[in-house]
Amino acid sequence: MHLDAVFRGLGPSVAQRRRAALRQTFQNIVRLARDLQVDALTIGGDLYEDLHSRPDTARFLAEQLGGLSCPVLISPGNHDYWHPGSLYATNDWPDNVRIFDSNRFTAVEVAGHRIFGVAHDKPKGTGSLLAGLQVPDGPPAVALFHGSERGLMQIQEEGKEDHGPFAEPEIAKSGFCFGLLGHFHKPRSTARLVYPGNPEPLTFGEEGVRGAAEVEFGSGTPRVKIHQVNTFTLQDREVDVTGCRHSEALVDLVRESLPRGSDTGVRVRLVGEMALGLQLGPSELLRQLREGDRCVDVVFATRPALDLEQLSLAPDIRGQFVRGLRERADFDSEVVQAALRAGVEALQGEEPALL
For the residues 269-280, what does the mean pLDDT come to? 80
Neighbouring CB atoms inside 10 A of 178's CB total 24
Q: Where in the chain is the domain with CATH 3.60.21.10?
A: 12-228
- pLDDT averaged over every residue in the chain: 89
Reference 213, options 172, 162, 178, 237; nearest CA is: 178
Helices (H), 204-273: 247-257
Sequence-distant (6+) residues with CB within 8 A of 259 are 235, 266
Neighbours of 133 (CB within 10 A): 18
Look up the pTM and report it: 0.82
d(CA 164, CA 129): 6
Dihedral angle at the C-alpha atoms of 236, 242, 245, 250, nearest 10 degrees? -10
pLDDT given for residue 208 in this prediction: 73
- Average of pLDDT values for 279-304? 85
Cα–Cα distance, 52 to 73 (Å, whole number): 22
Q: Facing residues of 143 across strands?
A: 116, 179
Spatial distance between the Cα atoms of 39 and 26, rounded to a whole number of angstroms:
18
Tally of CB atoms within 10 A around 154: 6
| C-beta of residue 195 within 8 angstroms of C-beta of residue 152 | yes
For 5-32, what is each residue's pLDDT tens digit? 998 878 888 899 999 999 999 999 999 9
**Which residues partner with 213 through β-bridges?**
226
Instruction: Report whether pLDDT(136) > 80.
Output: yes
Count the neighbouring beta carbons within 10 Å of the beta carbon of residue 89: 11
* Cα–Cα dist 303/90, whole Å: 55
Q: Residues 204-259: pLDDT tens digits?
A: 888 777 799 999 998 888 999 999 999 998 999 999 998 888 889 999 999 999 98
Q: List C-alpha distances in Å: 193 to 44, 175, 231, 298, 306.
A: 12, 13, 26, 36, 54
Say which residues have a Cβ less than 8 Å from residue 320's Cβ, sequence separation at least 6. none
Q: Could you tell me which residues come within 8 angstroms of residue 210 by beta carbon, excluding any fewer than 6 positions away? A: 185, 187, 196, 197, 198, 199, 201, 226, 228, 230
Structure confidence at residue 146 as a pLDDT band (50, 70, 90): very high
Tell me the C-alpha distance between 162 and 147, whole Å: 8
Superfamily (CATH H level) for 12-228: Metallo-dependent phosphatases (3.60.21.10)
First-residue to last-residue Cα distance in the chain = 32
- Percentage of the chain surpassing pLDDT 70? 94
Per residue in 75-116, pLDDT (tens digit) is 999 999 999 999 999 999 999 999 999 999 999 999 999 999
What distance lies between CA 63 and its chain's CA centroid?
27
Query: In 10 A of CB 322, how many CB atoms?
Result: 23
Q: Return the HEC string of 79-125.
A: CCCCCCCCHHHHCCCCCCEEECCCCCCEEEEECCEEEEECCCCCCCC
What size, in residues, is the chain? 355
Other CB atoms within a 10 A radius of the CB of residue 243 amount to 12
- Residues forming a β-bridge with 271: 240
Task: Count CB atoms within 10 A of the CB of residue 198.
Answer: 24
211 and 226 in contact (C-beta within 8 Å)? yes
The tally of CA atoms less than 13 A away on the side-chain side of residue 297 is: 14
